[in-house]
């Protein structure tokens, strides 16, 4: 094997690209869970975003329109989860699984005409001076716009939850929906908004997969990314910046194992490709052994306002 | 305005009615979906739900398929339903199914080409053990570290799929297979074949096991204290601890049992209908079984019926693909919708609809 | 009264099957402390929810300051100057005091200004509180301060207090009353909801008494005896427990130096708890909620194991045994929370009988449940304890609080326990049912069982206990005979002061 073929600059650069889909989905799910809702349908929303984004980008030749359409489509899909769990009080675990199954079916149905096509790509941005810096430039400052959008989104969510009144209300709803209701806050409305936001984020993540990361459409292409996003929220103890760290760590593992495969490491390819999942499990174990600090107290509990 | 009012007791009538209503709604919305795909909706519905059973031309071919497909679904769903009752969410049955197949097939192939009749029973035990082992990972992690079993069991599906790819190209590859991935054909080797018990019925040993599992689960859940403890743990965990139930034992029991059943389902499939270990012998039964479990109301008899219905949509879906060119994915969507509608109509079990003035609180 | 703040007229609210409020009318004057008195289920809660905008009346009108008052939601009520301190605090454990207070305000000031205001108000009214503390770490009394300060920051004209003293020690009650008197003197009206008669006599100017949703009487508490008010509230007399004189037997249960770490982030550790109970004796353990009651019950029931020697029954070490093994030995328990702990809400009464009685009543054979026998036992409990229900097939959650409580206590008593430990046996239960439960406990003791009653209702403990102790922050005070115990002594025991020390709490 030839480890010298692995270029650290390219490794970090591709790590950021590889982490971005999961980062989008995870930061969205963090907001949903902070509001006290457990949406296990991230995988289904992501893959719906992936195909809708791809289809719209191919049809209009505009990747950005593709992203917008992906966000909208997944957000609308997530509302079905919202209506079921918030108004019809269905079990959140079961409904989330259902959403994933629906999303997988829907996406492969829409996606059939799009197999094997290449999508228009999103240009990398170029900032004078900064992007031209040696090493740091190509590593951090020569990416497409969505990489920076995802980071900005993390900062935005952090600020929103920490400093804004709406963020405080959202956290309060996730902590104790009964107390929030008693104070006159609209629990269901806040949760629906959070679910919608989470859906939009998952859609962006999916579209990033099909438009930038891969970039083409194949059935089932998310391959568990949505589930990993869920694991990263736990890993992050429900804190936005830790979501960023978790996503980048995971992106790093994925890229590294791909690089090792390419470098011809004499070790089963299957073991390398299962490594991200195994490492996710190990991380979950470490986090949970420490105790689930920071989980919203009402997470996953149904709310019915009875007088 | 419409609002929901909690019933003092769960409604018995609606418990039975909601699956029927959900199937009906799925047919309507599915019909609209087919119409949008430029497929005649009524014909599509007829082909999916009627023709596999009653079409004079090919029902004799498709009818046995019903049991072949329903067998693994029922077997897996029975195991899952017991866990779901206890609030233990094993959604990685697909992984346990794959590991059962690998262990079972491996155990058999180790004795190739012996013709001992002991081989098949030994393979079943090995398959059950493989599924059990795979399910013990989330079980032990949950009891020892409180790690979320949903995420762990699901991650293990991807790990199992990678293992499957590995063994079908390496360890279990057919040495006479000209280098193609995939094991020897187990269904063509007398000692390992999972045969039909009644020729032409589709009833192989796995289907029989599924029926036995239904009866076992029914007795367990309605008559035995362990079943009572499982239900109690799901409905009121604190009351269960008060009653003296040890939560860790329930977790191990539920995950272990569903692992055993999923593992056996995998073995029966690989030694029968699928025939050999190959990269993609698994066809998502482990996930569809989740729908079957819910559609069957987590009740053994309900699961029996739901498994048959879901098998019907598989077969009918294939027919519709052949005859109308309906995309295969539409059947997956169909099944997902079924679960969605069921969850939506479930609300009537615990709530009744009141139409009248709005209530502020 | 010419200076009326809030006037209620003909308020009626019906729910399916119950009329919660039936034509209720009364006035509250400016600066008046007005008591709303009634048993559980008399309609007090529904009435204040209407005033606070959580529930809309079916008919009837309210006027505030002479103008029509129809709050559509709590926000509108707060804007109109009506504030409320809830019985079950509407607080968020994981948030800070300041964040909790900000959530209860319409237009909260900037965090720094808010923190300053909180400090000001807490000094003015003698309610010390640190705005940056996380609420989950506060004691019950401190948590109530958060609620009160949240209300006071909005300068309310009317402050509603729902059973505020149930979580306080007598000393803390006195501090609260001073605050309320100060508010009243400044012109804030207070609607004070309680069923504790002595408190109302000490604090309130006027009282309105509700029974079964109707206003049945008004009175001036200072000029009315507690007995008279009690009769107005209950409407009929009920049996007080019989006086007892019984012989005590051997020590049945002994707890020695029981110490356990806190079970969760917001739980209480148990610290060196020791006591004994003899056959035929009732030991009452008082204390403010959240001082280790739940943890002590869990340790005694076996839900939480401890080193074997810390708990002994008839001189046999049982600390390491689980609930099933302890039941086999004759130690039975009744936890505080009926739904979800003592009973599974969605299961039938028959199934709930199996929950604890499976082995002692022989409901199992080789692991299989004999449902016929289980139903028979459930019917026996229903009959013996006069549980009002259509039958043993009814789901536990369909029963009223009092009936379910009679069922779960009856379920344990009919299993002939040698030692019975109950936590809050009559919490939220109507007076007649409470009296029946207390009588059943005394009857059981008379037959030679050792009984531990953990309760926050001091009157109850004094009525039925032979000896009394109090829990404070997971410690148990010295245990004293109930006879001759004064309310001051009890207060000091609950506050954590010890015999020889000067009270420092």
> Which residue, B243, B249, B41, B234, is CA-closest to B142?
B249
Range with the largest mean pLDDT of B41-55, B213-227, C173-187, C491-505: B213-227
B40 Cβ contact list (under 8 Å, min separation 6): B34, B324
**Beta carbons within 8 Å of B176's beta carbon, 6+ residues apart:** B184
CB atoms within 10 A of CB A261: 13
Distance from CA of B12 to the nearest CA of C (A): 12
Q: Which residue has the higher pLDDT, C500 or A78?
A: A78
Residue A224 contacts B, CB cutoff 8 Å: yes
Q: Do C390 and C459 belong to one domain? A: yes
- Residue C432 contacts B, CB cutoff 8 Å: no
Q: Is A89 left (phi over 0), alpha (psi -120 to 50) or beta?
A: left
**pLDDT digit string (tens) for C125-140?**
888 888 889 888 887 7
Question: Taking CB atoms and an 8 Å limit, are B244 and C324 in contact across chains?
Answer: yes
Let me know whether C268 and C407 are in one domain.
Answer: yes
Sign of dihedral through CA atoms C92, A93, B150, A210?
negative
Confidence tier at C489 by pLDDT (50, 70, 90): confident
C342 touches chain B (CB under 8 A): yes
Would you tell me how many other CB atoms lie within 10 Å of the CB of residue C115?
18
Query: Is residue A186 within 8 Å of A252, Cβ to Cβ?
Result: no
Question: What's the rounded mean pLDDT across residues C344-356?
Answer: 94
What gap in Å lies between CA B131 and CA B133, rounded to an integer? 5
What pLDDT, on the 0 to 100 scale, is given for residue A110? 87
H/E segment holding residue C36 = strand C33-37
- B328-to-B309, B315, B333, C8 alpha-carbon distances in Å: 17, 11, 9, 66
A106-110, B94-98, C24-28, C327-331: segment of lowest average pLDDT:
A106-110
Chain B contact for C170, CB < 8 A?
A: no
Write the CATH number of the domain with boundaries A3-289.
Answer: 1.10.3470
Q: What is the mean pLDDT of residues C400-429?
A: 90
pLDDT band at C504 (very low <50, low <70, confident <90, very high): very low
Q: Which pLDDT does position C41 carry in this prediction?
A: 67
C341 Cβ neighbours under 8 A, 6+ residues apart: B236, B238, B239, B242, C335
Enumerate the domain spans of chain A.
3-289
Nearest to C90 among A165, A169, A182 (CB): A182
Q: How far apart are CA C487 and CA C495, in angstroms?
A: 12
Which chain C residues contact residue B243 at CB under 8 A? 323-324, 355-356
Structure tokens at A201: 């984020």
Cα R_g (chain A), whole angstroms: 20
**B106, containing H or E segment:** helix B93-109
Please check the confidence at residue C381 and state whether its pLDDT lies above 90.
yes
C183 and C308 both lie in a single domain: no
Distance from CA of C185 to the nearest CA of A (A): 27
Check if the beta carbon of residue A42 is closer than 8 Å to that of residue A183.
no
Q: Is C243 exposed, middle or buried (0-12, 13-18, 19+ CB in 10 A)?
A: exposed
| Same domain? C280 vs C219 | no
Residue of A nearest to C91 (CA): A179
Using CA atoms of C75, A183, C6, C232 in order, give the dihedral in degrees to the nearest 10. 160
Query: Mind telling me how many Å the CA of A196 is from chain C's nearest CA?
Result: 23
Phi-psi region of C311 (alpha: psi -120 to 50; beta: other; left: phi over 0): beta
Cross-strand bridge partners of residue C367: none
DSSP output for A275-293: HHHHHHHHHHHHHHHT--T
Mean pLDDT of the region C464-475:
89
Distances in Å between the Cα of B109 and the Cα atoms of A191, B96, B171, B268, C486 are: 54, 20, 11, 15, 84
pLDDT, position A136: 74
Residue B20 three-state SS: helix
ipTM for the assembly: 0.85
Helices (H) and strands (E) in chain A, counts: 12, 0
Measure CA B137 to chain center.
20
Q: How many CB pairs under 8 A join B and C?
A: 83
User: How confident is the model at residue C354, as a pLDDT?
Assistant: 95
Cβ–Cβ below 8 Å for B225 and C364 = yes
Q: How far is CA B21 from the centre of its chain?
A: 21
Segments of chain A with pLDDT less than 50: 307
Q: How is B50-92 classified by DSSP, letter by letter? A: THHHH-TTTHHHHHHHHHHHHHHHHHHHHHHHHHHHTT-----
**pTM: predicted TM-score of the whole model, two decimal places:** 0.84
Q: Which residues span the domain enclosing C25?
A: 4-234
pLDDT score at B359? 44
* H or E stretch at C25: strand C18-29
Using a CB-CB distance cutoff of 8 angstroms, which residues of chain A are in contact with residue B347?
88-90
Query: With an 8 Å Cβ cutoff, is C137 touching chain B?
Result: no
Cα→Cα distances B136→B96, B100, B249, B256, B298, Å: 10, 13, 12, 6, 22
Task: Look at residue C303 in the predicted model and tell me its pLDDT.
Answer: 93
pLDDT at C151 (0 to 100): 86
Residue A230 touches partner B, C-beta closer than 8 Å? yes
- What is the Cα–Cα distance from B155 to B168, expressed in whole angstroms? 20
- CB-neighbour burial class of residue C23 (10 A; exposed 0-12, middle 13-18, buried 19+): middle
CA distance B55 to A58: 43
Number of domains comprising chain C? 2
Contacts of C324 in chain B (CB under 8 A): 243-244
Contact between B155 and A90 using a beta-carbon 8 Å cutoff: no
Cα–Cα distance measured from residue C45 to residue C432, given in angstroms and rounded to the nearest whole number: 20
Closest chain B residue to the Cα of C334, Cα to Cα = B242
Count how many residues are written for chain A.
307
Amino acid C89: pLDDT:
62
Contact C55, C61 (CB under 8 A): no
Could you tell me if C229 and C327 lie in one domain? no
Across the interface, do A108 and B148 touch by the CB < 8 Å criterion?
Answer: no
Cα–Cα distance for residue pair C454/A3, rounded to 1 Å: 69
Q: List chain C residues with CB under 8 Å of A171.
A: 92, 94-95
Token output for C402: 């009092």
Does C172 reach chain B within 8 Å, measured CB to CB?
no
Supply C334's token pair: 């009744």
Whether residue A184 and residue C90 make contact (CB cut-off 8 A), yes or no, is no
User: Distance from B114 to chain A by nearest Cα, in Å?
Assistant: 31
Nearest to A222 by CA among A203, A209, A204, A208: A209
C339: which DSSP letter? Answer: B
Closest CA to A35 of A166, A200, A229: A166
Strands C214-219 and C368-369, bridge-based pairing: unpaired
Please identify which residue in the block is written with the tokens 């007229």: C9
Q: What is the DSSP letter of A84?
A: I
pLDDT in the model for residue C265: 65
Cα–Cα distance between C380 and B144 in angstroms, integer? 42
Give per-residue pLDDT as tens, C141-172. Answer: 788 888 888 888 888 999 999 878 776 777 77
C372 → chain B, closest CA residue: B223
Q: Are A66 and A272 in contact (CB under 8 A)?
A: no
CATH code of the domain occupying B38-326: 1.10.3470
Which whole-number Å values give the CA distances from C105 to C79, C81, C147, in the listed order?
Answer: 9, 12, 11
Both tokens of residue C201?
A: 């006599």
> Which residues of chain B register pLDDT less than 70?
1-2, 356-361
C230 and C274 part of one domain? no
Distance CA A157, CA A24 (A): 11
Chains that touch C (3 or more CB pairs under 8 A): A, B
Q: What CATH number is given to the structural domain containing C364?
A: 3.40.50.300
Interface contact A90-B343, CB threshold 8 A? yes
Q: How far apart, in whole angstroms, are the C-alpha atoms of residue B293 and residue B296?
A: 5
pLDDT in tens, C34-59: 999 887 667 888 898 899 988 889 99
pLDDT of residue B360: 40
Helices marked H in A209-293: 225-235, 240-262, 269-289
């Amino acid at each position: 094997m030839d480890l010298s073929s692995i270029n650290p600059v390219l490794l970090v650069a591709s790590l950021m690209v590889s982490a971005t889909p999961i980062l989008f989905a995870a930061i969205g799910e963090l907001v949903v869970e902070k509001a006290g809702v457990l949406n296990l349908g991230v995988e289904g929303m992501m893959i719906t975003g992936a195909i809708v984004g791809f289809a719209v980008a191919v049809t209009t030749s505009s990747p950005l329109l593709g992203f917008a359409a992906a966000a909208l489509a997944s957000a609308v899909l997530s509302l079905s989860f919202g209506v079921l769990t918030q108004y019809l009080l269905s079990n959140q675990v079961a409904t989330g699984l259902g959403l994933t199954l629906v999303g997988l079916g829907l996406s492969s149905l829409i996606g059939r005409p799009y197999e094997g096509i290449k999508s228009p790509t999103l240009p990398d941005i170029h900032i004078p001076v900064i992007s031209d810096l040696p090493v740091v430039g190509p590593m951090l400052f020569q990416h497409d716009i969505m990489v920076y959008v995802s980071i900005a989104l993390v900062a935005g969510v952090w600020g929103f939850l920490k400093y804004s009144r709406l963020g405080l209300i959202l956290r309060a709803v996730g902590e104790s929906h009964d107390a929030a209701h008693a104070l006159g806050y609209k629990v269901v409305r806040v949760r629906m908004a959070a679910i919608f936001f989470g859906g939009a984020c998952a859609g962006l993540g999916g579209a990033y997969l099909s438009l930038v990361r891969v970039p083409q459409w194949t059935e089932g292409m998310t391959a568990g990314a949505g589930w990993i996003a869920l694991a990263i929220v736990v890993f992050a103890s429900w804190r936005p910046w830790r979501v960023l760290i978790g996503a980048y760590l995971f992106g790093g593992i994925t890229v590294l194992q791909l690089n090792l495969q390419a470098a011809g490491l004499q070790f089963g390819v299957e073991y390398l490709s299962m490594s991200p999942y195994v490492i996710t499990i190990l991380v979950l174990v470490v986090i949970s052994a420490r105790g689930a600090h920071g989980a919203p107290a009402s997470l996953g509990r149904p709310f019915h306002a009875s007088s | 305005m419409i609002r929901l009012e909690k019933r003092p007791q769960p409604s018995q009538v609606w418990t039975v009615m909601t699956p029927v209503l959900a199937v009906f709604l799925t047919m309507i919305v599915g019909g609209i979906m087919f119409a949008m795909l430029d497929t005649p909706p009524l014909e599509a519905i007829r082909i999916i739900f009627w023709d596999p059973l009653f079409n004079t031309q090919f029902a004799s071919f498709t009818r046995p398929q019903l049991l072949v497909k329903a067998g693994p679904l029922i077997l897996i769903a029975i195991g899952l339903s017991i866990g779901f009752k206890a609030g233990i969410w094993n959604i990685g049955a697909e992984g346990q199914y794959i590991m059962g197949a690998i262990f079972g097939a491996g155990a058999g192939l180790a004795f190739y080409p012996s013709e001992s009749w002991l081989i098949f029973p030994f393979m079943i035990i090995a398959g059950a053990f493989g599924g059990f082992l795979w399910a013990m990972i989330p079980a032990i992690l949950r009891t020892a570290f409180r790690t979320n079993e949903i995420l762990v069991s699901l991650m293990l599906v991807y790990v199992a799929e990678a293992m499957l790819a590995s063994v079908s190209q390496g360890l279990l590859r057919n040495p006479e297979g000209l280098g193609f991935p995939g094991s020897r054909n187990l269904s063509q080797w007398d000692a390992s074949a999972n045969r039909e018990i009644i020729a032409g019925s589709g009833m192989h040993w796995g289907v029989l096991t599924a029926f036995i599992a239904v009866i076992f689960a029914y007795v367990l859940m309605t008559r035995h204290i362990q079943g009572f403890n499982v239900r109690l743990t799901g409905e009121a965990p604190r009351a269960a601890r008060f009653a003296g139930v040890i939560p860790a034992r329930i977790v191990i029991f539920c995950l272990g049992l569903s692992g055993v059943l999923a593992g056996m389902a995998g073995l029966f499939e690989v030694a029968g209908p699928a025939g050999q270990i190959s990269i993609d012998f698994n066809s998502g039964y482990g996930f569809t079984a989740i729908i079957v479990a819910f559609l069957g109301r987590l009740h053994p008899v309900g699961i029996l019926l739901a498994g048959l219905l879901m098998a019907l949509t598989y077969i009918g879906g294939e027919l519709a693909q052949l005859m109308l060119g309906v995309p295969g994915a539409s059947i997956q969507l169909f099944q997902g919708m079924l679960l969605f509608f069921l969850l939506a109509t479930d609300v009537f079990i615990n709530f009744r609809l009141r139409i009248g003035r709005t209530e502020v609180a | 009264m010419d200076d009326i703040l809030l006037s209620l007229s003909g308020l009626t609210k019906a729910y399916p099957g119950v009329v919660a409020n039936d034509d209720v009318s009364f006035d509250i004057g400016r600066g008046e402390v007005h008591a709303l008195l009634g048993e559980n289920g008399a309609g007090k809660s529904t009435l204040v929810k209407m005033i606070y905008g959580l529930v809309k009346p079916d008919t009837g009108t309210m006027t505030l300051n002479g103008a029509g008052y129809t709050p559509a939601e709590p926000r509108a009520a707060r804007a109109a100057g009506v504030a409320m301190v809830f019985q079950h605090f509407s607080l968020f454990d994981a948030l800070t005091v300041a964040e909790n207070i900000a959530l209860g305000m319409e237009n909260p000031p900037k965090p720094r200004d808010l923190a300053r205001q909180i400090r000001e108000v807490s000094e003015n009214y003698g309610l010390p509180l640190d705005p940056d503390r996380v609420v989950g770490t506060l004691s019950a009394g401190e948590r109530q301060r958060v609620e009160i300060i949240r209300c006071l920051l909005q300068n309310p004209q009317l402050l509603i207090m729902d059973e505020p003293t149930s979580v306080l020690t007598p000393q803390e009650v006195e501090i609260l009353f001073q605050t309320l008197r100060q508010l009243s003197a400044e012109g804030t009206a207070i609607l004070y909801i309680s069923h504790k008669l002595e408190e109302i006599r000490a604090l309130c100017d006027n009282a309105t008494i509700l029974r079964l949703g109707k206003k049945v009487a008004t009175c001036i508490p200072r000029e009315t005896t507690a007995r008279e008010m009690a009769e107005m509230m209950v409407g009929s007399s009920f049996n007080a427990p019989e006086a007892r004189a019984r012989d005590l037997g051997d020590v049945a249960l002994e707890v020695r130096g029981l110490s356990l770490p806190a079970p969760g982030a917001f739980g209480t550790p148990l610290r060196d708890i020791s006591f004994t109970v003899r056959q035929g004796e009732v030991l009452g353990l008082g204390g403010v909620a959240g001082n280790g009651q739940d943890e002590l019950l869990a340790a005694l029931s076996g839900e939480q194991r401890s080193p074997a020697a810390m708990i002994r029954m008839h001189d046999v070490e049982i600390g390491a045994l689980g609930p099933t093994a302890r039941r086999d030995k004759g130690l039975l328990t009744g936890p505080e929370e009926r739904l979800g702990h003592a009973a599974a809400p969605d299961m039938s009464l028959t199934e709930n009988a199996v929950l604890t009685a499976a082995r002692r009543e022989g409901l199992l054979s080789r692991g299989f449940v004999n449902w016929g026998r289980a139903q028979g036992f459930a019917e026996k409990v229903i009959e013996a304890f006069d549980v009002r229900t259509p039958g043993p097939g009814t789901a536990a959650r369909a029963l009223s609080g009092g009936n379910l409580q009679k069922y779960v206590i009856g379920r344990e008593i009919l299993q002939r326990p040698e030692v019975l430990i109950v936590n809050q046996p009559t919490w939220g239960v109507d007076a007649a049912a409470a009296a029946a439960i207390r009588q059943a406990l005394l009857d059981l003791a008379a037959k030679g069982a050792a009984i531990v009653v953990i309760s926050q209702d001091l009157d109850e403990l004094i009525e039925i206990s032979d000896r009394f102790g109090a829990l404070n922050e997971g410690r148990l005070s010295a245990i004293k005979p109930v006879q001759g115990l004064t309310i001051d002594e009890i207060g000091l025991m609950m506050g954590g002061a010890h015999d020889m020390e000067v009270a420092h709490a």
